Structure formats: C-alpha cells, structure tokens
C-alpha cells in the first residue's frame, strides 16, 4: 500500500491532504499558512516525517482553457523544491475548479447540519483532498503497482 500527501499551493495558504492506494481515497489534513509568501518548510517536513508518504501530489493551477497563469510557475517551483528537499516523487494534478468544488462540498455539509464556520483554510485542505482524489482516480495502473508513478 502506498501513502500520499497532496498540496493545494497558494501564496498565503497551502492546503494539505493525505491518501493511500488501498482504498484509493483522500481526506483533508491541514492548512499551512505562508505569511509574506514564505513556505513553512519545517511544517511540511514534520508532515512528511509523520505520514511517510511514498509520493507527493501538487495541484497545478491553470486558467479554464488550460493555459498557464503566474501562479502556475510558482506551483512548479514549489514542486521542484519539494523534490529537492525531500527526495520523493512529486506529481502534478490539474486543480481547475477544486476550490469552488471544495466550497460547494463544505456548504452542503453545513446545510446537512454540520456545525461551525467554514474558514478559508477549510476550503484549502478540502481542495487538496479533491486534487489528490482526482490523481488517485486517474492513476489506477500506478496504484496497482504501488509505485505512484505517472
């Protein structure tokens, strides 16, 4: 069984989710804050030490037509830094509409009786879970092998 961590990269916050290949499911984990755009590498390292993932997945932001935006380059740089620091495979996953879908899911839960206020960090970690779930759903051959390779 392979374990994964996924990141919904943003300039102020990074949503994090965990998942695994046995059930091919993902779940929101936490949101890391990036004041002044500084990535909290110590917090990411602690998550990697705790969860021991076999690979990492990063949401790649693009416009609706698939063209790149300024944040796309920053997300790619984040992917390179993750790989360089932690020496784990890092995979990109299209993240279009993940935040909107996360907001809708959280609204549904509230309408269904879940208490508490929805915070931006809740949306970010739910978006990370959706990104990872999409990747898991699209990678059946890699999951069957347990290697997480694209």
Q: Compute the distance between CA of residue 143 and CA of residue 79 in angstroms, rounded to an integer.
A: 21
SS (H, E, C) the chain: CCEEEEEECCCCEEEEEEEECCCCEEEEEEEEECHHHCCCHHHHHHHHHHHCCCEEEEEECECCCCCECHHHHHHHHHHHHHHHHHCCCEEEEECCCHHHHHHHHHHHHHHCCCCCCCCHHHHHHHHHHHHHHHHHHHCHHHHHHCCCCC
For residue 42, count other CB atoms closer than 10 A to its CB: 9
pTM of the model: 0.81
The fourth-level CATH superfamily of domain 3-142 is YqgF/RNase H-like domain (3.30.420.140)
Tens of pLDDT, residue by residue, the chain (150 residues): 899 999 999 889 999 999 999 999 999 999 999 888 899 999 999 999 999 999 999 999 888 888 888 889 999 999 999 999 999 999 999 887 666 765 666 667 666 565 656 566 688 898 999 999 999 998 755 554 444 443
Could you tell me the residue ranges of all domains in the chain? 3-142
Residue-level pLDDT at 64: 83
Residue-level pLDDT at 146: 46
Residue-level pLDDT at 60: 92
């Amino acid at each position: 069984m392979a374990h994964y961590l996924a990141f919904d990269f943003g300039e102020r916050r990074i949503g994090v989710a965990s998942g695994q290949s046995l059930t091919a499911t993902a779940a929101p984990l936490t949101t890391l804050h990036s004041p002044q755009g500084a990535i909290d590498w110590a917090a990411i390292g602690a998550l990697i030490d705790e969860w021991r993932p076999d690979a990492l997945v990063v949401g790649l932001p693009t416009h609706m037509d698939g063209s790149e935006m300024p944040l796309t380059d920053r997300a790619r740089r984040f992917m390179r830094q993750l790989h360089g620091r932690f020496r784990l495979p890092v995979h990109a996953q299209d993240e279009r509409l993940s935040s909107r879908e996360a907001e809708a899911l959280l609204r549904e839960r509230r309408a269904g009786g879940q208490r508490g206020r929805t915070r931006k960090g809740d949306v970010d970690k739910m978006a990370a879970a959706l990104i990872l779930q999409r990747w898991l759903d699209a990678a059946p051959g890699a999951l069957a092998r347990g290697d997480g390779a694209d």
